[in-house]
Amino acid sequence: MKTAAMSKLEALLETRRLNHTLLRPWLAAAPARTVSSGVAPLDAVLAGGWRLGEVSEVVGAASSGRTCLAVAALAASTAGGRLAALVDTTDRFDPGVAADAGADLTRLLWVRGPAMSPGAARPAMVDRAVRQAVRACDLIVRAGGFSVVVLDLADVPSRRLRLLPHPTWMRLARAIEGQPTACLVIAPTALGRSARGVTVQVSAAPRWQGTSAQSRRLAALEITARFQTAHAVVQSVDLESGGLQNQAALRTPAPSDHRTIGPNRIIGP
Amino acid sequence: MTCGRTAVVFDARGLARVFGTPHEIVAEVRRMAATDGLFVRATVAGTQSAAWLLAHASTDRSVIDPGGEAAALSPLPLSLLKTLSGLCQARPAPGPPGRARRAPLRAHGRHYRLAPGPPCRALSGDEGPGTDEVLAILVRWGLSTLGALAALPRAEIRTRLGVAGVRLHAAACGEDAEPLVPADEPPTFEERLELEWPIDGLEPLSFVLARQFESLSARLERADRGAVCLRTRLGLVTGDTHERTLTLPAPMREARVLRTLVLLDLESHPPPAAIDVVTIRIDVAPGRIDQGSLLDRTGLVPEDISTLMARLGALAGETRVGAPVVVDSHDARRLALVPFRPGPIPRADRPELAGREPSVSIGIAYTMRRFRLPVVVRVAVERGTPVRVDTGSGGLAGGRVVSAAGPWRTSGAWWSRAGAAWDRDEWDVAVEAGPCYRLTRDRATGRWEVEGLVD
């Protein structure tokens, strides 16, 4: 039975539009509106995909498969005829990979930040780029109409990200609340997902094919993901061999058609 | 309505209250023409055909009272009907229904156009003999005056001479095939405001623009037009002008959107001095009609996309926002952006309407985070294979290479100008610290670079 203090607290949260942070069994059981992540095992774990109206995160170290998940979400969204946006803070996006994955690039809005060499950019320049990217993400989210918005902060050092004022993420969560948009933040560490968002911690190991250096090729990244939400326990899933469904989702051939092995020369257009 | 270079037809209704009787109107027209050094024949009649024929006849009569056209034209020679071709030629060619904006014809400060009706060519030539042939036939019949032609029964004329004969018969009776109706002045959408005090900065300018665009938007709505091009001309206190042209992807007329677009454009390209004259000119196109559907997803309308693009352009730079394009080249470093103009959103399926979309499986083995500014590194090579990567003090982790694949050799553009050619060996390597890189070695200089990070 609820006490008067608890009722008062809930009323106060409702006044501040923070009642969605309450842990209520009937709310936790209600199906959330989602958009496919483009990876079937991930969709299975996330009960359909990335939640609409929420800010979710994909965090991990370099070469952990963060960009893979982001590009998969963008490709799935645009291939289905919806609009998607990528705020590329440090200008790292490779359109060719997205096109190979089936993305409709005409439906992808790409906001390119300043080109920066990793580790060589001045801190002030990085801070300015981050602020600009967050502002661009906020504008896109508020404009509405986009199914997935990816904010790529993967190459921004964690210490620079920690300098962002904390209300930044709360404002972003408030802006996206109720909208049919899933916001995905790619970062080296967890920053600030929204109350019903999910944090996916990824790690990966490269899988090589071939025996010698000349015949070997990088076949795929074997990604393992850990999930964390406000209402669920942390679980770890191997996206390749997690025993969920469609285990070969990330096992497609590497996009190396444009290259040749050995002495053959490729002449440009 | 101007007819050729020698005749003008205008509607004189209502001029009686200004000038007086029809004779006084004629006198006033002659006086005004004489002021400009012109000697003119002016006539007033109840129909344009009667006035036209009377003006071209050698007679002193200048006014035909309403209802007396046939009697007044009766003694005039039949050859006068040849002059009707000049009246016909003044009519514009027929266009698609509801779309043709007839060319406005100025007369006495007003504009007139001919009411929609059968085109002259169809009357004169398509369904029978032409006007000249009909006149020749009439002359052979022994007719010499308009009155003689008017006395013939029209049905018989129609049977023997076709539509052209009927038209000449109607003209001989003083009847019009098509009435004159006034045409609206072609609207121009321009607002000019001279400021009492010069303004400096965009914030005060926004109030001025709001006022101008509200007026323009109302006029666009009345005319069912949308703006497709905004031309902003700012007169500066230095005497110079600052001009900006903004092309819109779709016709739009919402004042707030147009003002925001101009302000964002001026934010990116501010005027160099204070402003004292603001002129907004809009190029228009027919209005856009969007019909929503309960079964389709609601997407971004062009106004929202334009505003978003302008805001992002002002934030990140116009050249840094758009839709990516895969360039037709084997050089993976090349890329391009095009304006973001997505097509219509396809119809939603039932699962999507229910808020739960089907799971989609996208096959991606790995992606590459490309460094637009490649990082120069030192690479130790043993037996042709990289064994160690030294990234220096940069933000990349280096160390011993635990696995490597390559080289893949790419080259191209050697036929083009210097600087565009490339000739590289590429390696995919995994270093001990964990990251996987794509290394390139320039075959001309031997320089090693990290082109991207596998992620």
Note whether B369 contacts A92, CB cutoff 8 Å. yes
Best of A52, A58, A94, A244 to mutate (most B CBs within 10 Å, chain B) = A94
Give the pLDDT band (50/70/90) at residue B200. confident
Q: Is the separation of the CB atoms in A170 and A216 below 8 Å?
A: no
pLDDT exceeds 60 at position A195 = yes
A8 near B CB under 8 A: no
| Cα(A83)–Cα(B67) distance, integer angstroms | 70
pLDDT for the residue A133: 95
Partner residues linked to B431 by β-bridges: B401
- Tokens (6 digits) for B245: 């042209």
- What is the average per-residue pLDDT within B410-424? 82
| Cα(B197)–Cα(B207) distance, integer angstroms | 14
Q: At what angle do helices B131-140 and B154-172 cross, to 10 degrees?
A: 110
Predicted TM-score (pTM) of the model is: 0.68
Amino acid B128 reads G
pLDDT exceeds 50 at position B115 = no
CA distances from B440 to B378, B433, B437, B447 (A): 11, 20, 10, 8
Chain A partners within 8 Å of B387 (Cβ): none
Judged by average pLDDT, the poorest of A29-43, A62-76, A222-236, B43-57 is: A222-236
Nearest to A39 among B332, B361, B453 (CB): B361
- Tokens (6 digits) for B90: 């003044």
CA nearest to B108, candidates B256, B227, B194, B1? B1
| Cα(A177)–Cα(A18) distance, integer angstroms | 11
pLDDT for the residue A213: 67
pLDDT for the residue A234: 55
pLDDT for the residue A61: 92
pLDDT for the residue A244: 36
Judged by average pLDDT, the poorest of A240-249, B289-298, B446-455 is: A240-249
Note whether A38 contacts B373, CB cutoff 8 Å. no
Question: Kind of pairing, strands B225-236 and B241-252?
Answer: antiparallel
CA nearest to B368, candidates A73, A130, A221, A85? A221
Amino acid B352 reads E
Question: Kind of pairing, strands A83-88 and A146-152?
Answer: parallel
Chain B partners within 8 Å of A92 (Cβ): 369-372, 452-453
- Tokens (6 digits) for B269: 């390209």
* % chain B with pLDDT above 70: 82
Give the pLDDT band (50/70/90) at residue A228. confident
| Cα(A54)–Cα(A46) distance, integer angstroms | 13
Best of B366, B423, B427 to mutate (most A CBs within 10 Å, chain A) = B366
| Cα(B160)–Cα(B162) distance, integer angstroms | 6
Predicted ipTM beyond 0.90: no
Report the SS3 class of residue A146. strand
pLDDT for the residue A236: 67
CA nearest to A91, candidates B4, B319, B294, B76? B319
pLDDT exceeds 70 at position A176 = yes
For chain A, the straight-line distance linking the first and the last C-alpha, in angstroms and rounded, comes to 73
What are residue B242's phi and psi, to 5 degrees?
-115, 115
- What is the average per-residue pLDDT within B432-447? 91
pLDDT for the residue A117: 84
Question: Kind of pairing, strands B105-107 and B448-454?
Answer: unpaired
Contacts (Cβ under 8 Å, ≥6 apart) of B294: none
